[in-house]
A and B are shown apart, each in its own frame.
Chain A
Amino acid sequence: MSILECKDLSKNYGHAPALDHVSFTVEPGHIVGLLGPNGSGKTTLIKLANGLLTPSEGSITICGMAPGKNTCAAVSYLPERTAIPTWMSAAQLLDFYGDFYADFRRDAAEEMLHHLNIQPKQRIKQMSKGTREKVQLIMVMSRAAKLYLLDEPIGGVDPATRDYILSTIIGNYNPEGAVVISTHLIADVEKVLDEVVFINQGRLVLRSSVDEIREEKGMSVDALFREVFKC
């Protein structure tokens, strides 16, 4: 069964359509890039998958279920903005995630925090922006989830931190689950993706595997993106 399935999915904000009859599936074990320019509907799609928004038309399901209590237990979500409580210490954050999620692998998270030289007593508030983003990603990837929804995980961090984040994703996702990464920094992520979904103005414009694009067109996904979305 598909991990994520969108069927004729539409979402309107008032009269403005944010997503316009989008259909695609994400299969187990795959890392999929949700790629599109600013305002193309990437975050809307991720919020629909989380149940933070409801579809105007069509449907979105996770492992066959509509977003709700059951799917939240299976979905690990990295929001666009850092959303961890800043007054907590690293140790409190580990407790917090352990209490909330049955699939939280505390050992894995502790090891990764240790690797970053983060002390258990250190407060989130005292960390730099880059470190906070790393800590939040560690929490998200330490869950043995069915679906990881990562909204702009590498936006606004330096290239070394990008590499760290990408290798943390590859090294930790549950191989029976799937990963959806939304981004417009394509050159950085394309090597870690199985497939890409291009969306523009709420419509799906292309869906292909990364190596298919390179094989058939002799260009990188980044180059193709620049061609398709030329301003």
Chain B
Amino acid sequence: MRWQFSNELPIYSQLIEQIKVGVVSGMFPPGERLPSVRDLATEAGVNPNTMQRAMTELERDGLVYSQRTAGRFVTEDKVMIENAKRDLAQHHIHAFLAAMFRLGFQRDEIASLLQQQTQEEGLSNVDSGM
């Protein structure tokens, strides 16, 4: 997994988002055991307490769960993973729309541009790049 961090947001919230992406994209498949907090922190190059905080929040949301001795696992609830996927998509769409409005586009223009672009990409079969 490639971890990347921006300067404006708290690190724990960026960790939550990136782990969610990992779960949604199948990098961490449903029911799979996650590496230990310290191993994940070392891999991401972050403070282990910050990683712990991210895990605690993901647990509270139900996307991961811990079993006292066996470790921490990704949920097997497919609906929950699908919802997380929708949430992430919403997030990206809002950011995209905000950027397009800043450029001065209207809603209908954005929609037609988007349609045009996806048709072109459909032809050249461009990978999503996730």
Q: Which B residues, 42 to 91, have Cβ-Cβ distances below 8 Å to chain A?
A: 42, 44-50
Q: Which A residues, 183 to 230, have Cβ-Cβ distances below 8 Å to chain B?
A: 191-194, 210-211, 214-215, 218-220, 222-223
B47 & A191 in contact (Cβ 8 Å cutoff) = yes
With A170-B41, A191-B45 in contact, is A214–B50 under 8 Å at CB?
Answer: no
Closest chain B CB from A165 CB (angstroms): 11
Which residues of chain A are within 8 angstroms of B12 by Cβ–Cβ distance?
A: 211
Does A14 sit within 8 A of B, measured CB to CB?
no
Does A111 sit within 8 A of B, measured CB to CB?
no
Does A55 sit within 8 A of B, measured CB to CB?
no
Roughly how many angstroms separate A166 CA and B49 CA in the complex, as a whole number?
15
Main secondary structure of the interface of A (DSSP, over half): helix
Which residues of chain A are within 8 angstroms of B45 by Cβ–Cβ distance?
A: 163, 166-167, 170, 191-192
Does A175 sit within 8 A of B, measured CB to CB?
yes
Pick from A31, A163, A210: contact of B11, CB below 8 A: A210
Which residues of chain B are within 8 angstroms of A21 by Cβ–Cβ distance?
A: none
Size of the B side of the interface (Cβ < 8 Å), in residues, is 17
Roughly how many angstroms separate A223 CA and B50 CA in the complex, as a whole number?
20
A211 & B50 in contact (Cβ 8 Å cutoff) = yes
Q: Which A residues, 18 to 60, have Cβ-Cβ distances below 8 Å to chain B?
A: 29-31
Pick from B5, B8, B10, B42: contact of A167, CB below 8 A: B42
Roughly how many angstroms separate A171 CA and B37 CA in the complex, as a whole number?
10
Does B38 sit within 8 A of A, measured CB to CB?
yes
Size of the A side of the interface (Cβ < 8 Å), in residues, is 22
Closest chain B CB from A126 CB (angstroms): 29
Which residues of chain A are within 8 angstroms of B49 by Cβ–Cβ distance?
A: 29-31, 194
Which residues of chain A are within 8 angstroms of B112 by Cβ–Cβ distance?
A: none
A194 & B8 in contact (Cβ 8 Å cutoff) = no
With A167-B42, A170-B42 in contact, is A194–B47 under 8 Å at CB?
Answer: yes
Give B3's nearest chain A residue, CB to CB: A191
Roughly how many angstroms separate A85 CA and B47 CA in the complex, as a whole number?
32
Closest chain B CB from A193 CB (angstroms): 6
Closest 4 CB pairs of A and B: A220-B7, A211-B10, A171-B42, A214-B10
| A-B contacts, 26 listed (Cβ < 8 Å) | A29-B49, A31-B47, A163-B45, A170-B38, A170-B41, A170-B42, A170-B45, A170-B46, A171-B42, A175-B38, A175-B48, A191-B5, A191-B11, A191-B45, A191-B46, A191-B47, A192-B45, A192-B47, A194-B47, A194-B49, A210-B47, A210-B50, A211-B11, A214-B9, A218-B8, A223-B7
A interface residues with partner B (beta carbon < 8 Å): 29-31, 163, 166-167, 170-171, 175, 191-194, 210-211, 214-215, 218-220, 222-223
